[in-house]
Amino acid sequence: MNQEYKRYLIVSILLVIFFVQAVTSMVQKSPTADEAAHHIAPGYSFMKTRDFRLNSTGPPLMEELSAIPLLFMKDLRISIDHPSWAEIQRTEFSRQFLFVDNVDKVDRIVFWSRVPIVLTGVFLGFLVFLWSSRLYGFRSGVFALFLYAFSPTILAHTRLVTMDMGASCFIFLAVFCFYLYCKNPSFRNLIFSGVAFGLAQLSKYTAVYLYLLYLVFFLLIWFCSKRDFMVDYKISRNIKNFFFSIVFILLIGNFIVFCGYFFEMKPLLLNDIDVGEKIAFFEKFITRVFGNNSELLKEKFISLALNQSIPFSTYIMSFLGASNQALVEQKFVPMIFGNYNPDGWRYYYIIVFLLKTSFSVLILLVIAVLFSRGLKKDRMSELFITIPVILLMMLTMLSVLQLGVRYILPIYPFLFVYISKIANVNIQDNKGFIQRRLVYILILFLGFCHLFSSVKVFPHYLPYFNVLAGGPSNGYKYLTRVNASLGQNLKGLADFLKENNIRRVKLSYWGFAPPEIYNINSLPIEDSEKQTPRPEVYAISVHHIDEVEWTKKFKPRCKIGYTIFIYDFRFANYTQ
């Protein structure tokens, strides 16, 4: 077996292991609230009707990809004659599609919808290996892929029909292609950069920050164009051409966005929700900008918004909605260390990163920053993998939408590449031999701990917290509860009830899927029971645990996937 074949085999094995972990764990999980209410059914409607009226506050690419396997399921029903379609009620349409029209196929629909997202995760894993090995060599590429393949945070979201894995993949791809173009400004690399940029914009509005990121890179290359370390960046030799190349990349990217909406042309407010509120918003905005004598302008603008077909209309309105949600509307109250604050915290996502990232990865990151500064001399190459992380974390400080780790998921592939350079520690070098050998042993140990943390939490990746938060059993006490549960454990609850011959349960469930589809015979918990329990079996989602007084003094019999707490009061010897 030659050396090249061995290398391909190692990479393939890691990618297959990643795929197997994702698939074998996802089949044990019921559809999450976001999947069931906002993504699966709308994605299918996009592909069947080319109508984007049910578009969520995000671009459609990942929903479209997830719907491709469903197109081969000939027996699926989609009720566009249901009132929810005409009234643009996305959650009701989704409920009708999954739990009424196709209730006997829910598991098949959810499984096949998730497969394209898993494959996106596999592709991203390969990109992580590719960039790392290009920068630091094959050994570092394998190490980066290893960190990626056994990351509980990555595995948690590569199994879900949401936009987050797509954003992570295509943002990383866009920056990688842009990096390659800067090194070698060929026409092929230019086209790849534009297409990758467009795919990123189609995946999630987080990718809008690439506009700012490319500006930062342009200024950086411009100011450093005469430095010695820029010799490998051919684009720095002609800054004017570089500027126009970026413009061309953006134009290609926006054309890809237009393609992603199937070349949609429609008025801004056609088939949109809350049209009256949006008209009032536009009128107020025009008045604020142009003064009180702007009635004619307002009349013309509203007429155009209601009647004039334009490209990107759904993209624009959805972007405005997402921006309002992220920067203005304080719809959710975040929590840190048990403290709720309607105004949130600027450092919220830093805490999320510290508690939701494998502790081994945190230590490896510190080692990469402090110890291995001399391992790589190409400063500019490392800026391409560090600036995207720093800039995104800075932008999260402006957001009032402080929820789950998935909002910073795009930073992880870059971090794995950056950390991977420490695999080049040379233990044969006589200079600092003992120090280097100890660091090498520490790296191996931390790699094993990273692997162990992933294996231990399988298949419950979503509620993963590291040792700083006391592990997945205690993490819900430290961060907003969506970091632990998205309503994914109804299947686990059904299995528990069946194995223990429990015919009825008092249920307080946070999620969208109805319990009865998994043959769960449940009754709601009455207000009086929240003060004093009855001789019943109670199942309480972690989101609702604080609403039930007696959960503070009684220990649960067990925790289903760390997120549904089971209390059994049928027996007198229940432990306090």
Which pLDDT belongs to residue 572?
55
Q: Decide if 422 contacts 371 (C-beta within 8 A).
A: yes
- Give ∠ CA 36-400-544 in degrees, rounded to 5: 50
335 closest CA partner among 209, 227, 480: 480
Cα 455 from chain centroid?
Answer: 21
Structure-token pair, residue 37? 């209410």
- In the block, tokens 């630091």 appear at 136
Contacts of 276 (CB under 8 A, 6+ apart): none
Cα 573 from chain centroid?
Answer: 44
Continuous H helices in 344-378: 348-356, 359-370
Cα 576 to Cα 573: distance, rounded to the nearest angstrom:
9
Structure-token pair, residue 332? 């959710």
Continuous H helices in 224-343: 239-260, 275-290, 295-307, 313-327
- In the block, tokens 């499984």 appear at 111
CA-based R_g, the chain, Å: 25
Cα 120 to Cα 110: distance, rounded to the nearest angstrom:
16
Cα 495 to Cα 514: distance, rounded to the nearest angstrom:
16
Label residues 546-564 b or e (16+ Cβ within 10 Å = b): bebeebeebebbebbbbbb
Q: What's phi and psi for 568, nearest 5 deg? A: -120, 105
CB atoms within 10 A of CB 109: 25
Continuous H helices in 268-312: 275-290, 295-307
- Give ∠ CA 449-454-460 in degrees, rounded to 5: 150
Contacts of 432 (CB under 8 A, 6+ apart): none
CA 88 vs CA 83, 85, 162: distances in Å: 8, 5, 20
Cα 514 to Cα 95: distance, rounded to the nearest angstrom:
9
Structure-token pair, residue 541? 């989602």
List the chain pLDDT tens, one digit each, 576 residues: 678 888 899 999 999 999 999 999 999 999 999 999 999 999 999 999 999 999 877 899 999 999 999 999 988 999 899 999 999 999 999 999 999 999 999 999 999 999 999 999 999 999 999 999 999 999 999 999 999 999 999 999 999 999 999 999 999 999 999 999 999 999 999 999 999 999 999 999 999 999 999 999 999 999 887 776 677 788 878 899 999 999 999 999 999 999 999 999 999 888 888 788 788 888 888 888 888 778 888 888 889 989 999 999 999 999 988 888 888 777 789 999 999 999 899 999 999 999 999 999 999 999 898 876 655 556 788 999 999 999 999 999 999 999 999 999 999 999 999 999 988 765 445 455 566 677 788 889 999 999 999 999 999 999 999 999 999 999 999 999 999 999 999 999 999 999 999 999 999 999 999 999 999 999 999 999 999 999 999 999 999 999 999 998 899 999 999 999 999 998 755 545
DSSP 8-state secondary structure symbol assigned to residue 64: H
Cα 132 to Cα 108: distance, rounded to the nearest angstrom:
37
Which pLDDT belongs to residue 428?
47
Q: What's phi and psi for 467, nearest 5 deg? A: -65, -20
